[in-house]
Amino acid sequence: MLGFIKKDLLLVKANLKSLIIIFFAFIFLTINETFNLSFVLPIMGIMLFISTFSYDEYNGWNSFVASLPNGRKKAIQGKYIASIILTIILTLISVLIYYLQVSLNNKDIMMNELINIILSSILGIVIIVSFMYPIIIKFGSTNGRIWMFVMVFLIVGICGVLSNFVDLSFLINAFNKIEKYGYFLIPLVSVIMLYISYRVSLKLYENKEF
């Protein structure tokens, strides 16, 4: 599996130029206090990682993988583990940016704010990874994106239509009630979502022909 993790991270490294530009733009904007969007950096990073699926597809990597020892399983494990590694690195960078922002503006570190940056980064990435990876594996990277948009529009559309007939404020109340357990719930839900997503992706990839 390590070989597949390396391959994906090396591919991200080869594409790093665009991430470095984003990275410096975020440092500048955050330190200037124009935006406080530190949590967006990990999400942008994971979007960059998702481009590895397009490179894989374009270069026939999936056929190559299928002929390697235990290739299909290890390649999927590699994608998920590499995503987690990248998330950790980028979240740490976000924390560093937050620290720089606070220090340079002579403010105190707010523990709540720091934890919010970390948790929102994790949750954002887990939602993207959990939904996008199986969809990309099933439909391919180009069609997968289209399906993703279709799904998002459907969910928003259904909620919009439902809100005309049903009072959905109970959902918001429910979220508000569990918010205080967020520190515990977000990591737990993230692990469960990632695991289910991994199992689905693996099943799809193992049955796929290239």
Q: Which residues bind other proteins (CB under 8 A)?
A: 1-4, 6-7, 10-11, 14-15, 52, 55-56, 58-64, 66-71, 74, 207, 209-210
The residue written with tokens 């340079």 in the block is: 104
Nearest to other proteins of 179, 206 (CB atom): 206
Question: How far is 90 from 144, CA to CA, in rounded Å?
Answer: 25
Output the six-digit token pair for 167: 């009072």
Nearest to other proteins of 3, 157 (CB atom): 3
**Minimal distance in Å, beta carbon 1 to other proteins?**
8
**Minimal distance in Å, beta carbon 183 to other proteins?**
36
Nearest to other proteins of 12, 97 (CB atom): 12
Query: Would you tell me how many other CB atoms lie within 10 Å of the CB of residue 210?
Result: 13
Nearest to other proteins of 15, 116 (CB atom): 15
**Minimal distance in Å, beta carbon 5 to other proteins?**
8
**Minimal distance in Å, beta carbon 84 to other proteins?**
17
**Minimal distance in Å, beta carbon 3 to other proteins?**
3
Q: Are 86 and 46 in contact (CB under 8 A)?
A: yes
Nearest to other proteins of 72, 120 (CB atom): 72
What contacts 126, CB < 8 A, 6 or more positions away?
Answer: 189, 190, 193, 194
DSSP per-residue letters across 114-139: HHHHHHHHHHHHHHHHHHHHHHHHHH
Question: How far is 99 from 25, CA to CA, in rounded Å?
Answer: 16
